[in-house]
Amino acid sequence: MPKVTFDADRCKGCSLCVSACPKKILALSEHTLNARGFHPAAIVDQSACIACAFCAMMCPDTVITVEK
């Protein structure tokens, strides 16, 4: 099963990964703020991930890791 992890403290909440996900399983956390004061991105449904890594490719700060 694919595994997607985020370094939430480095995320600036730009949502480029959210728009790049073909399965639409990423979202910005509405109730969580990271150390920098941003709402970080998170995966909503890990089991629906197809490990395409589009999210990781779009992230300008390389906070996303995709493992197959």
- How big is the CA angle at 25 (ends 27 and 6), to the nearest 5 degrees? 60
Would you state the pLDDT for residue 27? Answer: 98
Question: What pLDDT, in 10s, does the model give residues 3-60?
Answer: 999 999 999 999 999 999 999 999 999 999 999 999 999 999 999 999 999 999 999 9
Greatest Cα-to-Cα distance within the chain, rounded to the nearest angstrom: 32
Global pTM reads: 0.91
Per-residue pLDDT for 1 more than 90? no
CA atoms of 35 and 49, how far apart (whole Å): 27
Report all structural domains of the chain as residue ranges with CATH numbers, in order of start: 3-67 (3.30.70.20)
